[in-house]
């Protein structure tokens, strides 16, 4: 009698169960990072990080005498626990400079605007009433100001609020990022509060295709280097980043000078989430559930992780709610414009200064789909939408597994990466 192993895979605000026959299960890849316990008192950990910073004077000391302070925070697509971190940040700032006016700028990059309802959930009504919150709009060119040409030759344009402040502070979280190396730190500025032109050029086909533009890699990564240069150019005075487990609980806090604090946080995350590869003919993963699985646009992050464990011709299964559908109009147009080869050829021919917003996502999908069939498991994305994007659709993980076995055979080896966002596949 065949026995199955049940694996719980994050999906939106809950989980899906996958039942895999034990004899074909090659492995389940998780990391201590995902399964670690949150700290008993996350607020105290954050306060300690602010008062004993890395490579910097304490936040309160830096803020003394400042009149106009800008705090850049993450939007609704990022699980930064701002309901914990932002009150502590602003408390420290106001204790040092009680008369200061604090503006909170929500870094959306090229994402849609964070709704008032989403803001209330993420930040709390009390914070919204106490401070001025502004949602960045990368496409509002009137709000952008040119700053410099970055090392890659790209134009750097940023929200004018970053240039009209006495002190610029950022907060975010650190996780592996499939082409920037890691999230957090400098990403609050570029792409966070930069113009659509700058974000697109930073994510150009040439940059995405660079061999060092990959997960876990900072040194020599041209995308990271441009991001750092941009953050330096707007004089980020202080940064706070947290590391989170799979339950979005704080397991580490890193505050201080932009680069030093971010690098220490990245080293911590790298130690926690690097795992050796296990190769499979079918690789199952997710985007870690809400908020990162809200659309297809975000899913190449975990699909890239899955691809690192995929044999030639393997099928990749991604569980993602896609409550927002494709996720972006430019992405929708690109991912549905033809076959993967046609999409790739079209995008690689676009020069960096003509980069289309969101093209990076379609480029990575196309690159992976040239070698692997993708099945998306979603109860919001339709079968027709998936097919237009050169993918198959399934309602459940077990249905998707059966479809993949029809393609690869019943003896195909299966690898499961429950949260593809929390794992770096060591090469």
Q: Is 177 a catalytic residue?
A: yes
Structure tokens at 210: 């660079």
Asked if 298 contacts 357 with a C-beta cutoff of 8 angstroms, the reply is: no
Q: How far apart are CA 135 and CA 108, in angstroms?
A: 7
Instruction: Find residue 102's DSSP bridge partners.
Output: 69
Question: Does residue 12 come out as left (phi exceeding 0), alpha (psi in the -120 to 50 range) or beta?
Answer: left
DSSP labels, 262-275: HHHHHHHHHHHHEE
Per annotation, catalytic residue among 15, 76, 83, 177: 177
Q: Is 111 a catalytic residue?
A: yes
Which backbone phi and psi does 213 adopt, to 5 degrees?
-85, 80
Q: How far apart are CA 52 and CA 203, in angstroms?
A: 35
Angle at 152 between CA 217 and CA 232, to 5 degrees: 75
Q: Cis omega before residue 291 (within 30°)?
A: yes
Count of C-beta atoms within a 10 Å radius of residue 374: 22
DSSP, res 99: T
Angle at 227 between CA 221 and CA 228, to 5 degrees: 90
Per annotation, catalytic residue among 76, 111, 203, 393: 111
Count of C-beta atoms within a 10 Å radius of residue 140: 11
How many residues are recorded in the chain? 427
Which backbone phi and psi does 238 adopt, to 5 degrees?
-165, 145
Q: How far apart are CA 382 and CA 80, in angstroms?
A: 30
Instruction: Find residue 107's DSSP bridge partners.
Output: 74
**Which active-site residues does the annotation give?**
111, 177
């Amino acid at each position: 009698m065949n026995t199955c192993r049940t694996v719980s895979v994050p999906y939106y605000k809950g989980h899906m169960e996958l039942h895999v026959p034990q004899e074909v299960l090659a492995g389940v890849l998780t990391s201590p990072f995902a399964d670690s316990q949150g700290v008993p008192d996350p607020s105290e950990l954050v306060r300690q990080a602010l008062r004993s910073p890395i490579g910097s004077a304490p936040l309160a000391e830096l803020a003394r005498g400042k009149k106009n302070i800008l705090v850049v925070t993450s939007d609704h697509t990022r699980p930064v626990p701002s309901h914990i971190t932002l009150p502590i940040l602003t408390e420290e700032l106001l204790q040092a400079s009680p008369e200061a006016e604090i503006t909170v700028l929500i870094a959306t990059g090229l994402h849609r605007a964070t709704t008032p309802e989403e803001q209330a959930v993420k930040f709390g009504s009390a914070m919204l009433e106490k401070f001025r919150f502004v949602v960045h709009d990368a496409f509002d060119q009137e709000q952008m100001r040119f700053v410099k040409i970055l090392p890659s030759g790209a134009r750097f344009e940023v929200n004018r609020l970053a240039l009209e402040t006495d002190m610029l502070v950022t907060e975010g979280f650190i996780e592996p990022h499939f082409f920037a190396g890691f999230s957090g730190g400098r990403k609050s500025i570029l792409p966070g509060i930069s113009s659509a032109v700058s974000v697109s050029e930073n994510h150009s086909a040439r940059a995405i295709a660079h061999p060092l533009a990959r997960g876990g890699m900072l040194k020599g990564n041209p995308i990271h280097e441009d991001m750092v240069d941009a953050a330096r150019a707007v004089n980020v005075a202080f940064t706070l980043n947290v590391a989170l487990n799979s339950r979005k609980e704080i397991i580490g806090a890193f505050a201080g000078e932009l680069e030093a604090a971010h690098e220490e946080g990245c080293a911590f995350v790298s130690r926690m989430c690097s795992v050796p590869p296990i190769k499979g003919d079918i690789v199952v993963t997710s985007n870690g559930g809400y908020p990162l699985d809200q659309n297809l646009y975000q899913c190449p992050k975990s699909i890239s992780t899955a691809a690192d464990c995929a044999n030639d011709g393997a099928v990749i299964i991604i569980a993602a709610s896609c409550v927002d559908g494709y996720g972006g109009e430019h992405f929708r147009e690109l991912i549905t414009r033809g076959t993967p080869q046609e999409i790739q050829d079209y995008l690689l021919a676009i020069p960096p200064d003509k980069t289309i917003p969101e093209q990076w996502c379609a480029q990575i999908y196309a690159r992976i789909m040239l070698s692997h069939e993708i099945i998306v498991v979603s109860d919001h994305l339709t079968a027709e939408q998936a097919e237009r994007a050169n993918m198959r659709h399934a309602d459940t993980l077990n249905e998707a597994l059966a479809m993949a076995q029809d393609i690869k055979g019943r003896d195909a080896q299966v690898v499961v990466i429950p949260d593809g966002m929390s794992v770096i596949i060591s090469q």
